[in-house]
Structure 1
């Protein structure tokens, strides 16, 4: 009878151990992180459980130990879950703050770039004002020199007129002198003939013929007048040569002033082209910033809509801002491990991830286009500076315009080729911007050529 009661007690204890084993199995199914818990508990039970029920001294203490162990394990798991949840929330907050810091840094960088562009534009405006002042001064001096050249030309014309009149008078006087000489020679010849006749007829007149003639005294005033007129003609000729040399010097000065004026006008045209280019690039920069802001707002709205659709069934941890790929993947893995509602939630998060990726790819392409425009703008500014330095150092020599640079042509061709590969809306917008830039360059070159032709025709 005693043995039967012992066997009955042993069966009860074995049933209780089986229930404990089932409880351990159920707890091991719930706890995924502790996969070997069932094996450890079963081994401990097999080691502690004796072959005979008499060897079990205090089975109640053993069960109490198991209960304490399970309660500690569950409390540690609960603390670990709370800690993981707080860490996940902290990670999301840090990612949100990091994204906000990125946006703030980018806005600060863009504002600094805009301030630098404004300062450079102000400097260019000051240089253009100085060039305008110098051009006006040169125009005034050019007008003065033109007036002086006209006055000297009129004076030269008057002197040439007086010289021609004096030359005509000298010619008339020389013809008159020649006539008088011929008449005098004829008269002298007649008198000699008459004297010869009278000498032959009257010998007493021989002494009178040998006496000095009185005609020499009459010839002297005519020779003196002729010499005086010749001296006047030579002095007038020397004055005319001096006036001619002065006129040539004035013409040279006028030509030099005209060349200087043309050079300054070319510099002014180049500076106007640079100013137009700077204004166009500033307009492009503002358009790019507006396009970037609109894209950011559009993508932010899509992300908020997708996160609101995903946050309706539950999961309050997903109502934060935009997260990265690693955090979204871990959240999706955790959700997919749950029931059907969790799977549905994971599909919503995957859809939001796809939308976010597409938005980020569009932003990357817009950033690439923006940086390309910035590089082109900096290159153009460097070329404008080099152009101004070469104009300052070279003097009369002028440099080539910026639009004729082969490197810029190759760069524009490469950008057009890159833009023509795909045809989204923003790429078509960039292509239109670059085509308008090229059109303005061609119009500027055509206007320059027309001005040069007009100057040549005026000259």
Structure 2
């Protein structure tokens, strides 16, 4: 009887356990079913939020691209403006060097004229000064540079402090290089001009010495000719006095062959002096110096046109 009671109780316990187990699973399934729409709504919200973020980022990217294009254009204008400023500074430096060279050449020319007055006569043979004036070519170069620059590039640009510092440093380096080149070129031109002046001075001194020697020789010849004319004029006077003292011969005994007349030398019958050859040499050297000056002027013009 006890076994019969225990069997139904065991079966009832199993049924109860199964019922509880199914009830738990059904409850979890019900929760999953109820929570599924809410999870889908959260995913959709997150997706919408991500779409908005992507759209915003794309707008920011396009704006940054536009800013970059604008900055590149401004940077190009700044570079062109800095190049023009450097060219203008180089032109001013060349003009200053040219003015300094003109002043030095004028001073040297005045010193040469003061030391050698003969140069004042030779100066008239040279049509132009030794070097071409530098003001007009520099002004023409500046005008051409300004004409080739468009109107947009002439407008002043607003720059930040960092860009100003960078451009000033680069400009200083370039100006330093231009100044060194200008100084070397000026020294070379100065040495060439000094050598030309020394050569002209040496030629002038040699010609002056020859001219003085020729003058002395001509003076000696004139003195000797005048002395001879005085002696020949005194000799006929003595002969006439002797004839008056002696008895007059008859006209029939007079022999023309017995009278010998001494030829009187005159400056016109003597050999011409060497002044013609000397002056020919002077003018040939002046012509050679003028040709060298023309060659130097041509070289300078070609150098200024290339630069």
User: TM-score, length-normalised on structure 2?
Assistant: 0.38
Q: Which has the higher helix share?
A: 1
User: TM-score, length-normalised on structure 1?
Assistant: 0.27
Higher relative contact order (CA 8 A, sep 6+): 2
